[in-house]
Structure 1
């Protein structure tokens, strides 16, 4: 299935569209399966979306929040993805605390923390060791180097295909990240990307041939789900020919 690509005049229009699509997927998931599972992205781009979601009247008891990746810092740290989403969104709605599943970052060994979250996902989704959970919605960002989640170029995490969660590496700093097979099981993936510094990566991601180990976002190809790229004009210039 070809990805859906939409380019907007400015980031605010992108966020409006992301909100519209996210709300539609939430309502559809709850109508069909009684719940909606979402894996959140970190970074600055999705923060306005979270702030908009905080203003919505939704059946919060049916929504379950996870994360696609996390820096290995306490949730109180300004760099924490879970901390950002909590302040921008989750603290402002009546979602049960038991419906929120931040990645654990307390263990001395990040590999131990990755295994803990791996087990949490298996328990929640009822999957076995050789099965992958299927999120209803996965939100992803894009780095200028072509990384997404904490799947960085030429790192071991790109090759992990036998578990849900692994340890990513950014300049020697550990992070937790969902693996490529988990992301590709999602029913719906939204990439949100802004800024001219994403153009080179996007050119390679959408090229007919390119090295996916150098541009990891190329690896994100949902098996049975929908893939949408929501970009502002600055980021989306190289993709005009695909529209």
Structure 2
């Protein structure tokens, strides 16, 4: 069962999550000499990244890697890599190393082997993984009924990265071709943090806890896996 950290407002949530991420990254550096920070895009974690970038951590020893990416160039408005560069790889955190997912291949399926090789070189276990959740119950780019989802949710696959083609919806927008960390990769993080805000997402989260169909709501694969602790951060 996930640990729930619910706050009365988003400012308190941001401060708490920044504090928790900073302390866990520092702990990783103290124990291993380096740390790996897996990050998701989106408006919800944006203030967390902006605030975290101002913390004087030993950023040169931290590798930041994407949880998922639309298969678009960095110049595209939907690029998670560009979003992280603009909101986290700033201030003190400009010293960190960033690993993106989009490579030179035309499709995510063709680019998957190169992405897999790059992620296999990251120090494991990963120290912190920040996930979000959509109103459709997706997390990372693990979308309901997506092509590639079943394989991505198989913990025994051993793969870190999976090419996903989502069914187009209001949530996905036009860019349905994605690269995502697999469930197996996410479960290699010491600290999994699911960040949600607003009453509607709280309702979706509670619905996810009640059911068991992971293809219908892939976030269930994180919430119900029982192997690694998950902390849910929520504010109105």
8 A Cα contact 2:38 2:67, kept in partner: yes
Normalised by the length of structure 1, the TM-score is: 0.85
Instruction: Identify the residue that residue 107 of structure 2 maps to in structure 1.
Output: 109
Stretch moving more, 114-123 or 219-228: 219-228
Aligned residue among 193, 196, 204 for 1:193: 196
Cα distance in 1 for partners of 2:33, 2:81 equals 25
Instruction: Identify the residue that residue 229 of structure 2 maps to in structure 1.
Output: 226
Instruction: Identify the residue that residue 130 of structure 2 maps to in structure 1.
Output: 139
Aligned partner of residue 156 in structure 1, secondary structure: coil
Unpaired segments ≥5 residues, structure 2 = 169-175
> Over residues 56-98 of structure 1, what are the superposed CA-to-partner deviations in whole Å (9 max), with x where a residue is unaligned?
101111100101000111112221111111111203336447x
Normalised by the length of structure 2, the TM-score is: 0.88
Instruction: Identify the residue that residue 85 of structure 1 maps to in structure 2.
Output: 84
Shift in Å at residue 170 of structure 1? Answer: 2.9
Cα RMSD for the two superposed structures: 1.8
Aligned positions of 1:19-168 closer than 5 A: 19-93=18-92, 95-96=94-95, 99-125=97-123, 133-160=124-151, 161=154, 162=157, 163-168=159-164
The number of residues matched between the two structures is 223
8 A Cα contact 1:185 1:224, kept in partner: no
Structure 1 residues 76 and 91: CA distance shift in structure 2, 3 A = farther
Structure 1 residues 199 and 89: CA distance shift in structure 2, 3 A = closer
Aligned residue among 180, 185, 208 for 1:205: 208
Unpaired segments ≥5 residues, structure 1 = 126-132, 234-243
Instruction: Identify the residue that residue 129 of structure 1 maps to in structure 2.
Output: none
Structure 1 residues 55 and 91: CA distance shift in structure 2, 3 A = closer
